[in-house]
Structure 1
Amino acid sequence: MKLARLIGVSLLASSLSFAAFAHNHKSKADIVDTAVAAGSFTTLVTAVQAADLVDTLKSAGPFTVFAPNDAAFAKIPAADLNALVADKAALTNVLTYHVVAGKVMAADVVKLTSATTVQGQDLAIEVRDGKVFVNGAEVIATDIETSNGVIHVLDTVVLPTN
């Protein structure tokens, strides 16, 4: 399936409010199944599958995932996104840059200035005007608890420096 078409379809699906889902749903499902059920992470789930990271994100963890939603992925030009998905090593590098070992709830995230990702580089964390930013991407939903960690939703895909 062409990723550009997938993004268009998933943007329609994401018109359902993920914030309402997160607020009303404390999931017993793992990170992957929670993302699938939300309906607004279609591109992320497709990328996780392409990078063979499903089993990792279904493992015991715990993990904190700063998860870009479909609208965040839609900001990337389709050709660039398709090229990224086609390059498994680069895709894995980008996806693991969104994951921190351990379960870090929002109340703890706001006390941090950085967090080391499982990819190995640090994410810069900043609180401005009552909003939390991770490498400049705004955190738009927090504390979506899963059986193996927590998801915080980003409005932009963050990229490692290498």
Structure 2
Amino acid sequence: MRKPRLSKVAVAVTAAALLPLSLAACSDDSDDKDTKSDSSSSAKPSSPDKGSDTSAMSEPFGPACGTVPKSGKGSFDGMSKDPVATAASNNPALSTLVTAVKKAGLVDTLNNTDNLTVFAPTNDAFAKIPKADLDKVLADKEQLTKILTYHVVPQRLKPTQMDNGNFTTLEKSKVKTSGSGESYEVNDASKVVCGNVQTSNANVYIIDTVLMPKS
């Protein structure tokens, strides 16, 4: 039994269909070359990527940063627009600190002073202090002020400045910082759990233990 032969019409139709494809392939080859030459010339200015890496290094870091609200006044963006005491009041994890700052009458001092670094203890940090002792401190304005101002350095500290540092606080005694990368401690006892949080007038390092100045 003989195989049916394609008709001349079918052959012509097939050829007509294939011709544009072959022309397109040729065109694509030349376009690819042009595209490669264009992309190679436009790919040269890759230095901005380094800038973006630098910018990423200035972002907040640490295991507790994930608990910060993603939007609103308590978010990193929201906090960056407010002075530090106001910004802290919008972060639920710092509510005990905010109560202490209000009792000590330090809200205006913190909000109206430029270029600060605040080591901000979390609610859990305050919870490490026996309740009777904490209540006693909260009721003693002089002692409370001494403790809170010990958490404030009158300059904005970048993470790299904290690798091995000693800084005079508003309380007038020094805090020691150590660490590198995204792991830092204050006074060899309190860990930074969310660092380099920006407010309009301060850098904030949220810590897991309340700092106590020497008597």
Q: Aligned partner of 2:175: which letter?
A: L
Q: Which has the higher strand share?
A: 1
Residue 17 of structure 2 is matched in structure 1 by: none
Aligned pair 1:85/2:131, yes or no?
Answer: no
Report the Cα distance in structure 1 between the residues aligned to 2:118 and 2:192, rounded to whole angstroms.
Answer: 11
Q: How many residues align?
A: 145
Deviation at 1:103, TM superposition (A): 0.9
CA spacing shift, 1:22–1:93, aligned 2, 3 Å: farther
Q: Describe how 1:119-134 pairs up with structure 2 within 5 A.
A: 119-127=171-179, 131-134=183-186
Percent identity over paired residues? 36
- Secondary structure of residue in 1 paired with 2:135: helix
CA spacing shift, 1:144–1:83, aligned 2, 3 Å: same
Contact 1:18–1:38 (8 Å) recurs in 2: no
Aligned pair 1:101/2:146, yes or no?
Answer: no
Report the Cα distance in structure 2 between the residues aligned to 1:128 and 1:109, rounded to whole angstroms.
Answer: 8
Deviation at 1:46, TM superposition (A): 0.3
Structure with higher RCO (Cα < 8 A, 6+ apart): 1
How much is the aligned-residue C-alpha RMSD, in angstroms? 2.0
80-89 or 59-68, larger mean C-alpha shift: 59-68
- Secondary structure of residue in 2 paired with 1:141: strand
Report the Cα distance in structure 1 between the residues aligned to 2:98 and 2:144, rounded to whole angstroms.
Answer: 12
Residue 12 of structure 1 is matched in structure 2 by: none
Deviation at 1:62, TM superposition (A): 1.5
Report the Cα distance in structure 1 between the residues aligned to 2:96 and 2:184, rounded to whole angstroms.
Answer: 23
Residue 116 of structure 1 is matched in structure 2 by: 168
Report the Cα distance in structure 1 between the residues aligned to 2:81 and 2:181, rounded to whole angstroms.
Answer: 33
TM-score under structure 2 length normalisation? 0.63
Aligned pair 1:43/2:96, yes or no?
Answer: yes
- Secondary structure of residue in 1 paired with 2:212: coil
Contact 2:81–2:200 (8 Å) recurs in 1: yes
Contact 2:198–2:204 (8 Å) recurs in 1: yes
- Secondary structure of residue in 1 paired with 2:195: strand
Residue 6 of structure 1 is matched in structure 2 by: none
Report the Cα distance in structure 1 between the residues aligned to 2:76 and 2:177, rounded to whole angstroms.
Answer: 26
Report the structure number with the largest CA radius of gyration: 2
Deviation at 1:18, TM superposition (A): 5.2
Residue 47 of structure 2 is matched in structure 1 by: none
TM-score under structure 1 length normalisation? 0.83
Contact 2:160–2:180 (8 Å) recurs in 1: no
- Secondary structure of residue in 2 paired with 1:40: helix
List alignment gaps of at least 5 residues for structure 1. Answer: 1-16
Residue 19 of structure 1 is matched in structure 2 by: 65
List alignment gaps of at least 5 residues for structure 2. Answer: 1-62
Contact 1:18–1:40 (8 Å) recurs in 2: no
Report the Cα distance in structure 2 between the residues aligned to 1:67 and 1:130, rounded to whole angstroms.
Answer: 17
Report the Cα distance in structure 2 between the residues aligned to 1:143 and 1:73, rounded to whole angstroms.
Answer: 21
Report the Cα distance in structure 2 between the residues aligned to 1:98 and 1:22, rounded to whole angstroms.
Answer: 24
Deviation at 1:102, TM superposition (A): 1.2
